[in-house]
Structure 1
Amino acid sequence: MDNNKYLAINEVIKQQFYLKYNRVLTLTEEIILEGAIENLSYEEIAHKLYMSSGTVRNIASKFWDQLSILYHQKITKINCKYVIENILKSEKILGKEELNLTDIDHENIKSHQGIIMIIDDYIENLKILKQLLEKEGYQVRSARSAKMAFLSLEESLPDLILLDILMPIMDGYEICKIIKTNPLTSHLPIIFISALSDTIDKVKGFQLGACDYITKPFEEIEVLLRVSHQIKLKDQTLRLEKELKEHEKTIEMLSQSRSILASVLNNSCCGIAVLEAIRSPQTAQIIDFQYFLVNPIFTDLFNIKELNNLNFIDNLKECSFGKLQWIEELINVVKNSRDFRDIFLFQGQKYQMSVNKLGDGITINIIPLIQ
Structure 2
Amino acid sequence: MDKNKYLAIEEVIKQQFYLKYNRVLTSTEEVILQGAIENLPYEQIANKLYMSSGTVRNIASKFWSQLSELYNQKITKVNCKYVIENILKSEKNSEKEQLYCIEIDNENNHHPQGIVMIIDDYIENLKFLKQLLEKEGYHVRSARSAKMAFLSLEESLPDLILLDILMPSINGYEICKIIKADTKTSHIPIIFISALNDTIDKIKGFQLGACDYITKPFEEIEVLLRVSHHINLKNQTIRLEEEIKQHEKTIEMLYQSRSILASVLNNSCCGIAVLEAIRSSENAHIIDFKYYLVNPIFATLFNIKKPNIITLISSLKECVFCQLEWIEEFIKVVKTNIDFRDTFLFQGKKYQMNVNKLGDGITINIIPLI
Question: TM-score, structure 2 length as denominator?
Answer: 0.70
Q: Which residue type is aligned with residue 121 of structure 1?
A: D
Q: Which residue type is aligned with residue 312 of structure 1?
A: L
* Alpha carbons 2:197, 2:215 under 8 Å: kept: no
Distance (whole Å) between structure 2 residues aligned to residue 256 and residue 197 of structure 1 = 56
Partner of 2:189: 189
Q: Cα deviation per residue 1:60-83 (whole Å; 9 max; x = unaligned)?
A: xxxxxxxxxxxxxxxxxxxxxxxx
Partner of 1:207: 207
Task: Kindly state the Cα deviation for residue 339 of structure 1 after the two structures are TM-superposed.
Answer: 2.2
Q: Which residue type is aligned with residue 168 of structure 1?
A: P
Partner of 1:14: none
Distance (whole Å) between structure 1 residues aligned to residue 261 and residue 217 of structure 2 = 66
Task: Kindly state the Cα deviation for residue 5 of structure 1 after the two structures are TM-superposed.
Answer: 4.6
Evaluate the alpha carbon distance shift between residue 112 and residue 4 of structure 1 in structure 2; reply closer, same or farther with a 3 A threshold: farther
**Which stretches in structure 1 are left out of the alignment for 5+ residues?**
11-26, 35-103
Partner of 2:99: 30
* Alpha carbons 2:276, 2:289 under 8 Å: kept: yes
Partner of 1:149: 149
* Alpha carbons 2:275, 2:363 under 8 Å: kept: yes
Runs in 1 of length 4+ with deviation above 3 angstroms?
Answer: 1-10, 196-200
Partner of 1:335: 335
Distance (whole Å) between structure 1 residues aligned to residue 97 and residue 94 of structure 2 = 17
Once the two structures are superposed, the pairs formed by residues 1-371 of structure 1 within 5 Å of their partners are 2-7=87-92, 29-31=98-100, 106-195=106-195, 201-306=201-306, 308-316=312-320, 319=321, 322-370=322-370
Task: Kindly state the Cα deviation for residue 249 of structure 1 after the two structures are TM-superposed.
Answer: 1.6
Task: Kindly state the Cα deviation for residue 224 of structure 1 after the two structures are TM-superposed.
Answer: 1.1
Task: Kindly state the Cα deviation for residue 199 of structure 1 after the two structures are TM-superposed.
Answer: 7.1
Superposition CA RMSD, Å: 2.4
Task: Kindly state the Cα deviation for residue 347 of structure 1 after the two structures are TM-superposed.
Answer: 3.6
Task: Kindly state the Cα deviation for residue 290 of structure 1 after the two structures are TM-superposed.
Answer: 1.2
Task: Kindly state the Cα deviation for residue 161 of structure 1 after the two structures are TM-superposed.
Answer: 0.3
Evaluate the alpha carbon distance shift between residue 5 and residue 311 of structure 1 in structure 2; reply closer, same or farther with a 3 A threshold: farther
Q: Which residue type is aligned with residue 183 of structure 2?
A: P
Question: TM-score, structure 1 length as denominator?
Answer: 0.69
Distance (whole Å) between structure 1 residues aligned to residue 340 and residue 229 of structure 2 = 62
Aligned to 2:221, the other structure's residue is in SS state helix
Partner of 1:84: none
Evaluate the alpha carbon distance shift between residue 286 and residue 206 of structure 1 in structure 2; reply closer, same or farther with a 3 A threshold: same
Distance (whole Å) between structure 1 residues aligned to residue 90 and residue 274 of structure 2 = 67
Task: Kindly state the Cα deviation for residue 296 of structure 1 after the two structures are TM-superposed.
Answer: 1.3
**Which stretches in structure 2 are left out of the alignment for 5+ residues?**
1-85
Task: Kindly state the Cα deviation for residue 361 of structure 1 after the two structures are TM-superposed.
Answer: 0.5
Partner of 1:82: none
Distance (whole Å) between structure 1 residues aligned to residue 344 and residue 197 of structure 2 = 93
Distance (whole Å) between structure 2 residues aligned to residue 161 and residue 4 of structure 1 = 24
Aligned to 1:201, the other structure's residue is in SS state helix
Distance (whole Å) between structure 2 residues aligned to residue 207 and residue 172 of structure 1 = 13
Evaluate the alpha carbon distance shift between residue 106 and residue 296 of structure 1 in structure 2; reply closer, same or farther with a 3 A threshold: farther
Evaluate the alpha carbon distance shift between residue 7 and residue 123 of structure 1 in structure 2; reply closer, same or farther with a 3 A threshold: same
The alignment covers a number of residue pairs equal to: 280
| Identity value in percent | 74
Q: Cα deviation per residue 1:228-247 (whole Å; 9 max; x = unaligned)?
A: 11111111111111222222
Distance (whole Å) between structure 2 residues aligned to residue 232 and residue 113 of structure 1 = 9
Distance (whole Å) between structure 2 residues aligned to residue 332 and residue 207 of structure 1 = 68
Q: Cα deviation per residue 1:280-316 (whole Å; 9 max; x = unaligned)?
A: 2122222221111111111111111135432211113
Evaluate the alpha carbon distance shift between residue 5 and residue 233 of structure 1 in structure 2; reply closer, same or farther with a 3 A threshold: farther
Distance (whole Å) between structure 1 residues aligned to residue 272 and residue 333 of structure 2 = 17
Distance (whole Å) between structure 1 residues aligned to residue 203 and residue 246 of structure 2 = 36
* Alpha carbons 1:339, 1:354 under 8 Å: kept: yes
Aligned to 1:229, the other structure's residue is in SS state helix
Q: Which residue type is aligned with residue 172 of structure 1?
A: G
* Alpha carbons 2:290, 2:312 under 8 Å: kept: no
Task: Kindly state the Cα deviation for residue 107 of structure 1 after the two structures are TM-superposed.
Answer: 2.7
Aligned to 1:108, the other structure's residue is in SS state coil
* Alpha carbons 1:110, 1:139 under 8 Å: kept: no
